[in-house]
Amino acid sequence: MTASRYAAPIAVASLRRWMARDALSQALAATLDEMTGGDDNAFTIRLKEPFPLLLDGLAKISSLVPFIMPERTAKTDSFQQITDTVGSGPFRFMREEFEPDHKAVYVKNADSEAPDWASGGRVVKVDWIEWLVIPEVSTAAAALANGEVDWWENPTLDLARMVAADPDIVVVDTDPLGSMGLLRFNQLQPPFDNVKMRQAVLAVTDQAEFMTALAGDPKDWKRCASFFTCGTPMANDAGSEALTGKRDVEAAKRMVAEAGYDGKPIVVLDGVDLPTSHSHALIAADLLKKLGLNVELASADWGTVVTRRASKKPVAEGG
């Protein structure tokens, strides 16, 4: 297993930090016998049993990415934010110009090297980039239309259609696979520590209801009953009847009763500054109310949502 451009001990330290947080890497870690550095050009991973997704994990370019970083940085506690931002690749991060929740600035890196898929150099056409945070989508659309910004990532579908009417703006679908929305239960705390409660919600969940709220026109979304993204090699229909069968509210209410639900509040986390999260939270809260559950919609910015989501305290204590 070669470690391109990085000394082996550095790669090992970085991967150990990654394995403490990433879901796929945690599954890998359970099969790990040892991971050691051989020399400056290679390191060794020895497994106790086969793990077919080993290379996929090391090569992943989506969160959480197994970035290789300086050893001093890699030794930072896995649950502590890294402050030693060094920058690499085509651009350097300008820490002194960083404004949290507003702007990040990157300048062209004078050092260059040949690109190698997700690593190595790139051909840089501009001297600097300002990455702006504009939470309000209509403001972002106006900034693009007025030439105040050059590019907008993930526009909402209604505004994407609007800006597409401008001959100077090009709207491109960069990901034909799309993304999968998830309704994730807190299985550590009542009432969803009871499997019957989770089954009750599944019995009434309709993908079309969630996707219509988010995307509207069915031509802009598709059903997927696979537990893995449809259109990928791992997609399959195992267990799909739970999502494709008839929705049954009365059967769901019976399961709620069998679970012994006592009427305690159920908190639905709602990230209002992310359109996908916000629309799905509204539908989820309404769905739970239809089952007679006591629902509290906790609306906040995404940063607050993920902080509360990480808490394992009871709901009454802010968990």
Band of residue 61 on the pLDDT scale cut at 50, 70, 90: confident
Band of residue 252 on the pLDDT scale cut at 50, 70, 90: very high
Residue 256 lies in a domain: yes
**Structural domain tally of the chain?**
4
**241 Cβ neighbours under 8 A, 6+ residues apart:** none
Q: Which of 314, 266, 318, 319 is nearest to 292 (CA)?
A: 266
Q: Long-range contacts made by residues 302-307, C-beta under 8 angstroms, separation at least 24?
A: 302/271, 302/273, 302/274, 302/277, 305/269, 305/270, 305/271, 305/277
pTM as predicted: 0.70
Residue 49 lies in a domain: yes
Q: Mean pLDDT: which of 77-91, 117-131, 253-267 is highest?
A: 253-267
| Among 24, 49, 74, residue at a domain's last position | 74
- Other CB atoms within a 10 A radius of the CB of residue 174 amount to 6
- Domain residues for 120? 85-133
Q: Are residues 126 and 143 in the same domain?
A: no
Tell me how many helices (H) and strands (E) the chain has: 12, 9
Question: What radius of gyration do the chain's Cα atoms show?
Answer: 23
Check residue 1 and give its pLDDT: 34
| Among 144, 174, 204, residue at a domain's last position | 174
Strands 115-116 and 42-47: unpaired
Residue 213 has pLDDT above 60, yes or no: yes
The predicted model gives 98-110 an average pLDDT of 89
Residue 17 lies in a domain: yes
Question: Could you report the per-residue pLDDT of 160-197, keeping only the tens digit for each?
Answer: 888 889 999 999 888 888 878 888 999 999 999 999 99
The predicted model gives 137-143 an average pLDDT of 92
Average pLDDT along the chain: 87
Q: Are residues 113 and 220 in the same domain?
A: no
Q: Are residues 19 and 33 in the same domain?
A: yes
Residue 179 lies in a domain: no
- Other CB atoms within a 10 A radius of the CB of residue 281 amount to 21
Say how far apart CA 212 and CA 282 lie, in whole Å: 12
Residue 182 lies in a domain: no
Check residue 3 and give its pLDDT: 34
Check residue 119 and give its pLDDT: 65
